[in-house]
Amino acid sequence: MVKYFRWLAIALLGALVSAQAQPECTVPAGTSPFEFKSGQNTLRGFIDRPTASGKHPAILIVHGAGSTDVTRGDGGYMSSYDELRAAFRRIGLATVIWDNAGNGCSEGGYALGTPIIERTDETIAAIDALAKRDDIDPTRIGLWAISLGGWIAPMAAVR
């Protein structure tokens, strides 16, 4: 019995240390927070703008179906795509990325199964929120997608 409690205490201590080691929803340096609503979901991510002033064209990065955590990601697949954002920024494009509902800093969730319609609605809501900003050119907003996002982007484009 004592052995069981010792292992439980070690596991709880490890979880506590791990939770404290990761900052909560802090956007990467040089970016700005981006938040919008889609249905009952509050979605959060960030905008990475070029250094020049004025209104910028923008690319929204549409994730696949897996879990995301853009504020604490490693820059790889299903993350914050550091190198891709840097390439877009160098050619004068702002990038926008957010966590899927219920992941990272976003709240809410999707219906069971493949939530392709909800994700399309979400992408359109992100475009609408982005188009209202003073630093983005609303006539030049595009989509870059991977995996399930490759199905969502054309559906959003035709709507």
pLDDT-based confidence at residue 72 (cuts at 50, 70, 90) = confident
Question: Average pLDDT over the chain, rounded to whole?
Answer: 85
* Measured CA angle at 25 (ends 124, 155), to 5 deg: 15
pLDDT, tens only, 40-56: 999 999 999 999 999 99
| pTM (2 d.p.) | 0.81
Q: Give yes or no for a contact between 48 and 31, defined as CB atoms under 8 angstroms apart.
A: yes
* pLDDT of amino acid 23: 53
Q: Which pLDDT belongs to residue 2?
A: 54
99 CB neighbour count, 10 Å cutoff: 24
| 8 Å CB contact between 136 and 130 | yes
Q: Are the C-beta atoms of residues 82 and 34 closer than 8 Å to each other?
A: no
What is the average pLDDT across 111-140? 94
Cβ-based neighbour number of residue 102 at 10 Å: 14
- Average confidence (pLDDT) over 82-94: 93
Helix (H, G, I), strand (E, B) or coil at 27: coil
* Residue of 92 and 81 predicted with greater confidence: 92
Q: Where are the alpha helices (DSSP H) in the chain?
A: 2-21, 82-90, 116-131, 149-158
